[in-house]
Structure 1
């Protein structure tokens, strides 16, 4: 069920990114609609995306996401699992250890946001 939910969310996000955001109005959006979605369903989707409550929620979520200062890179893995794995290697695990492990970026992988603030905090955590 989780896999289906995640796939559905990804699909909706891709639809909005590719078929809603690039175009100015619904007439153009309907003309450029994806072929695999029936016209009546796509029209309902456009109504939903044009709804003021949705627009406000979307804007609020985008603004909150921009405020996130030190995003983790643990993915779906819970911090409890990260802590348990660290405890196998060390006797005591501090909050600093968890912060460093969950915020250290993997080499060669591209990320959307800059990590200068996080990197400086990791360096400081490792020094003390």
Structure 2
């Protein structure tokens, strides 16, 4: 109903500005009347808008609207009523009620097919869909983050294995004993495991110098 009322007020304003206030005599007004309004009805509108008290009230309302810094969008609900309800809401919260309980106590239970404070076009169904979509997006982001972490760990593992192979070949070419080479390999692997645990706990990734001790 609010939308219909606003549309009707806008329609009357356009008709009055375009077909009444623009002309100085009734003949021109009737000649340029809206085609969707019968002449008899438009004559009645002209007669009503021409009443001195109506013209004075219209002029006063126009001047008052120009002075408004914030447009009133509460319909038939006055600002005084809003202030009174806000005071009640504050009193309930000060008494220990939760915000949800205080809101329900002042404004009543939610009506079917609508959701307060979300605008005219939002319904419980659309709000639930938005929440589900947001949840799916969050899960997707978490999955991507987890996959990136695993990819980094895999790359580090491959790099560590490459370093181990290079070290083994280097030690073999120098004639190092096989037991000594295995000891170096175990030390290398132990260092990698420590760095991997630190990285998985949220610490900075190990630098290349840490991964490849000399």
Structure-1 residue corresponding to 2:54: 54
Provide, for residues 59-116 of structure 1, a one-character-per-residue CA deviation record: whole Å limited to 9, x for no partner.
1111212222x325x956x997xx9xxxxxxxxxxxxxxxxxxxxxxxxxxxxxxxxx
Structure-1 residue corresponding to 2:38: 38
Count of residue pairs brought into register by the alignment: 81
After superposition, the CA RMSD in angstroms is 2.7
Q: 5+ unaligned residues in a row in structure 1: which ranges?
A: 84-128
- List 4+ stretches of structure 1 deviating above 2 A: none
Alignment of 1:94-109 (within 5 A): none
Structure-2 residue corresponding to 1:71: 70
Structure-1 residue corresponding to 2:23: 23
Provide, for residues 5-26 of structure 1, a one-character-per-residue CA deviation record: whole Å limited to 9, x for no partner.
1111111001001101111111
| Structure holding more helix per residue | 2
The 1-side partners of 2:61 and 2:33 are apart by 26
Structure-2 residue corresponding to 1:125: none
Structure-2 residue corresponding to 1:14: 14
Provide, for residues 23-59 of structure 1, a one-character-per-residue CA deviation record: whole Å limited to 9, x for no partner.
1111110011111100100000000110111101011
Higher-Rg structure is: 2
The 1-side partners of 2:64 and 2:38 are apart by 34
Higher RCO structure (Cα 8 Å, ≥6 apart):
1
